[in-house]
Amino acid sequence: MHPVFKRKGLAFPIIVAFCLVVSLATFNSHPSISPSRITAAPSPVYNITPSAYPVPIAPAFVNSIPLIIHQTYKTNLPSLWKAERPNRSRYSWFMSWRKMNPDAMHIVWTDAQADEFMRSAFPGTRFYEAYQKLPRVVLKTDMLRYALLLKYGGVYSDGDTTCRRPLQDWFVGHDDATLIVGVEWYANFHNNHEDHYKQLQLVQWTFAASAGHPMFEALLTDISKRVLDEYSEEYLLNRDNVESIGGPRVFTRFVREYMAQFGESFELLDVSQDDGQGYYSKSRVLVHPMYSFYPAYSKRLFSRRTDLVDHHFYGASSEGWKFI
């Protein structure tokens, strides 16, 4: 069990200049509010300039999860998304998040803004030191998504996803959830003898959480230790190791360990529950069924509407994550 789970609060100083107007104490109270009600800010406000990273100010909330949508891409200019070739869908993918969540702050982080965020939010820490050492953009993006939700909370989703339902619908009545994830595959679902297919794996391209969630601190602490103390440069450069350094296998392991602290486990979820959710009230983790975050790949109809996000798997293309 990771030692960070045994501590309360964060293990590093929060930088006051860039913290949210709402304090982490407010996040940790996790008020129970109907998912049909959004506590809205007067208007979505954030600073975004070429030389600085976006700073959310007074976001709206759905329960304890702030309505901030974090995505990453090489540019955050909609005009360039529209003009992009050969894939002109990027514009509609990004804009779907704004359309479905009009009260949300939608931030598309560029590489430069991501670097500035990590430097400013975690100065002098092993988090930032490890981030700097990572030689591939995809590795930095994995670490960034955890750091953003640790710092600000909200939703992270890859840039090749389409939002199908607003965030308030994701709670499905479990208003006090502080971590929302989805199943990528169930244990032994695929007819594959590789070890990682023998256990349930969670989707890592989309998830949501309240700010300051201890699972992300533990996860970042572990990644930093391995990057700085164990992994060679050759290992970090090998694209075959991407998923085991900070990808879905690692993400799944730390959600599993976090839940175990409360005596809970998602291991018994299987395809027979494919149209339902697993909610774990002690750890306050909501697990959506397989295909919730990629319904186009399902060969069966759901008896409940669990199609939350489409994933277009653009990472497998020549411009995808495997090549950056």
Q: Does the pLDDT of residue 74 top 50, yes or no?
A: yes
Q: What is the pLDDT of residues 217-249, one digit of tens each?
A: 999 999 999 999 999 999 999 999 999 999 999
Q: Does the pLDDT of residue 283 top 90, yes or no?
A: yes
Q: Which amino acid is at 316?
A: A
Provide the percentage of residues in the chain whose pLDDT is more than 70: 72
d(CA 195, CA 95): 38
Q: Does the pLDDT of residue 23 top 70, yes or no?
A: no
Q: What is the pLDDT of residues 116-151, one digit of tens each?
A: 999 999 999 999 999 999 999 999 999 999 999 999
Q: Does the pLDDT of residue 196 top 80, yes or no?
A: no
Q: Does the pLDDT of residue 175 top 70, yes or no?
A: yes
Q: Which DSSP symbol is given to 88?
A: T
Q: Which residue has the higher pLDDT, 191 or 185?
A: 185
d(CA 224, CA 217): 11
Tokens for 285? Answer: 């983790």
- How many other C-beta atoms lie within 10 A of the C-beta of residue 40? 16
Q: What is the band of 160 on the pLDDT scale with cuts at 50, 70, 90? A: very high
pLDDT at 52: 63
Angle at 292 between CA 200 and CA 261, to 5 degrees: 45
Q: Which residues pair with 183 in a beta bridge?
A: 202
Domain map of the chain by residue range? Answer: 3-323
- Mean pLDDT, the chain, rounded, equals 81
Q: What is the band of 256 on the pLDDT scale with cuts at 50, 70, 90? A: very high
d(CA 137, CA 143): 10
The bridge status of strand 278-280 relative to strand 285-288 is antiparallel
pLDDT at 275: 62
Q: What is the mean pLDDT of residues 58-65?
A: 85
Q: What is the mean pLDDT of residues 166-180?
A: 95
Range 3-323 has CATH code 1.20.120: no
- Evaluate whether 120 touches 64 at the Cβ level (below 8 Å): no
Q: Which residue has the higher pLDDT, 197 or 171?
A: 171
Q: What is the band of 319 on the pLDDT scale with cuts at 50, 70, 90? A: low
Q: What is the band of 306 on the pLDDT scale with cuts at 50, 70, 90? A: confident
Q: Does the pLDDT of residue 107 top 80, yes or no?
A: yes
Q: Does the pLDDT of residue 155 top 70, yes or no?
A: yes
pLDDT at 316: 56
d(CA 121, CA 265): 32
Q: What is the mean pLDDT of residues 32-55?
A: 44
